[in-house]
Structure 1
């Protein structure tokens, strides 16, 4: 018989996180703990209002599976019992962590994946005035970050990007519009980004309104985020996107995320590995996907005033993936 606990946590940020759909000052997560014979597994997920999620709703979803979880529910059964989302992610990652601790293997070993000793992670520049964003980008670059993710809304796009590129001429820049742009003028904006040597554009149009992406030749890769959750999303993305952003919270856990990465590769999509605002627990759970990704955006914990212990080490813009980091 397993014991099952689930509870919310709130982790204050050291700096407000501002994107096109609003500002946040804390990371709100839900944690699941499973224990069998004194061995524990822990999973974390971030409920996201954009997908109709909240901490109470996610906790209610988890509670519906309490009897099955207590009786030994498997990851395979879980995929059928809950839809993709934060609730399934928290449970799925707890099941993976429980198996890791029971078998005394690393998560990489258990998943059959490999990873380098470290991986470059994007460091996010949140929305602000052009000069403030340029200053933030320069500070990150001076601290060793070489890949910067620029958050934008539908205003001051040219001014912000020109200021940032002038401040960090040698940085690799990717842009995330979080669904805030419109089809009108999109091709011209994409050309502007290409002219500024932007490496990738993420989710410029609202999910469900991205047919316009098929009407012009892309001068830079475009990545689906809100438009891609699971393998079921992929067929509709062909001819519109070159990349997909895989997040455990969207996929509903590592189990589906691994399958999504394989399916995306077979269909010709490149992969970005992303995260929500979260603690190091959530990033550890995603590390088996690192070797599949062209870009990794794993800076969620770096926004926290205080991280969970033990915290993953992020140094000079890289997440350090030592063997102990994925045990």
Structure 2
């Protein structure tokens, strides 16, 4: 029987510029990295965790160590789903297993996931919260971006923010992300500005647990559930409240569950978005597999950090491509 060697570590990645979203300012990002080696091949996975679940990255190696014996003796991806809850730890381990399987079998992960190819995808580029003029300047600073996502603050300036960005980027796809910062009243007040700016998508307007206020409403812009949806079991209850589901591998606990989420969303007639909790190309590459099923692709983690691993994904021309990235490649 093959014995698998596992290594767990934490890396710290400083941001080139602070990342601001509703109620938060981040200047660096800690990442949990899982590596598995069978003596010939190595697989790697990366997790950032879910910040609003109080999932400290510093604790992740110790949590992973609890599974060491089973992992070293060949724990499978399906078995992993039963051993750990959805989390950044499970995400990193799950993706490391996918990567190792591709290297051992000679079959790319995307093909094992049932795809016939791994297409380049239009990739959203996120703009941190700032004053309206500064967000417009930030939009102009990324002229190759075909799709922009504006972080909203719920502070009364959001309408001005979207108008300012639309005025300088008339042809771009624009989505906005409230990160739970709105109330039902401020959401309704914001819609005229969003309509005027031809906003294409609004993510998570209300706080988790307040989604019932969205039930059955005929909103002029599609709404996407983010913080309100974690795994496939959450989706059915949201079908009458949101039109789009945002799948993130850290929330789902890995690519295995993320693909199940995509299947469930399609079954319910909902559109699909793939997002990220930030990270390097090691985390975005498995997201590209989910992205093949998606209407919106938000895998801009390395762009927000401002740097990436060597041999990362190719983000040129407002797209994301496999490029030189070897994750999941045979």
Name the counterpart of 1:231: 232
Q: Residue 323 of structure 1: CA displacement?
A: 8.8
Q: Is the 8 A contact 1:176 1:202 kept in 2?
A: yes
- Is contact 1:28-1:47 (8 Å) kept? no
| 2:13 corresponds to | 11
Q: Which residue of 2 aligns with 1:91?
A: 93
**CA distance in structure 2 between the partners assigned to 1:136 and 1:154 by the alignment:** 20
Shift of 1:284: 0.9
CA contact (8 A) 2:136 2:165 kept: yes
Greater mean alpha carbon deviation, residues 279-288 or residues 298-307: 298-307
Tell me if the contact between 2:49 and 2:277 (Cα under 8 Å) persists in the aligned partners: no
Structure 1, gaps ≥5 residues long: none
Q: Deviations over 1:254-298 (max 9, x none)?
A: 000001101100101100011121001011112211221001001
Residue 154 of structure 1: aligned partner = 154
Q: Which residue of 1 aligns with 2:128?
A: 126
Structure 2: distance between partners of 1:114 and 1:229: 27
1:181 corresponds to 2:182 = yes
* Aligned-partner Cα distance in 2 for 1:210–1:237: 8
Shift in Å, 1:118: 1.4
1:273 matched to 2:274? The reply is: yes
User: Contact between 1:115 and 1:287, CA under 8 Å: does it hold in 2?
Assistant: no
* CA offsets 1:56-88 (integer angstroms, 9 cap, x no match): 332222111111101110001000001111111
Determine the C-alpha separation between the residues in 2 that align with 1:323 and 1:127: 32
1:5-36, Cα deviation, whole Å (9 max, x unpaired): 11100112221111002111122110001111
Number of the residue aligned with 2:287: 286
Q: Distance in 1 between matches of 2:205 and 2:235?
A: 17
CA distance in 2, matches of 1:305, 1:222: 29
Is 1:138 matched with 2:140? yes
Report what 1:317 is aligned to. 318
Following the alignment from structure 1 to structure 2, what is the Cα–Cα distance between the partners of residues 2 and 324?
23
Residues 72-81 or 56-65, more deviating: 56-65
Secondary structure class of the residue paired with 1:227 = coil
1:47 maps to which residue? Answer: 49
Report the secondary structure of 1:158's partner residue.
Answer: helix
What RMSD, in angstroms, separates the aligned Cα atoms of the two structures?
1.5
Deviates more, 1:100-109 or 1:114-123: 114-123
Asked if the contact 2:12/2:31 (under 8 Å) is kept, the reply is yes
Which portions of structure 1, spanning 4 or more consecutive aligned residues, are displaced by more than 4 angstroms?
322-326
Judge conservation of contact 2:22–2:178 (CA < 8 Å) in 1.
yes
Instruction: Name stretches of at least 5 consecutive residues in structure 2 with no aligned partner.
Output: none
Deviations 1:231-256 (A, max 9, x none): 11012102100000001100000000
Describe the shift of the 1:91–1:324 C-alpha distance in structure 2 as closer, same or farther (beyond 3 A): closer
1:307 aligned residue: 308
Matches within 5 A, 1:53-92: 53-92=55-94
| 8 Å Cα contact 1:12-1:306 kept in structure 2 | no
Distance 1:6 1:114 in 2: 33
CA distance in 2, matches of 1:297, 1:185: 25
Separation of aligned partners in 2, 1:149 and 1:172: 8
Distance in 1 of aligned mates of 2:7 and 2:192: 50
Normalising by structure 1, we get a TM-score of 0.95
Whether the aligned pair in 2 keeps the contact of 1:11 and 1:305 (CA below 8 Å) is: no
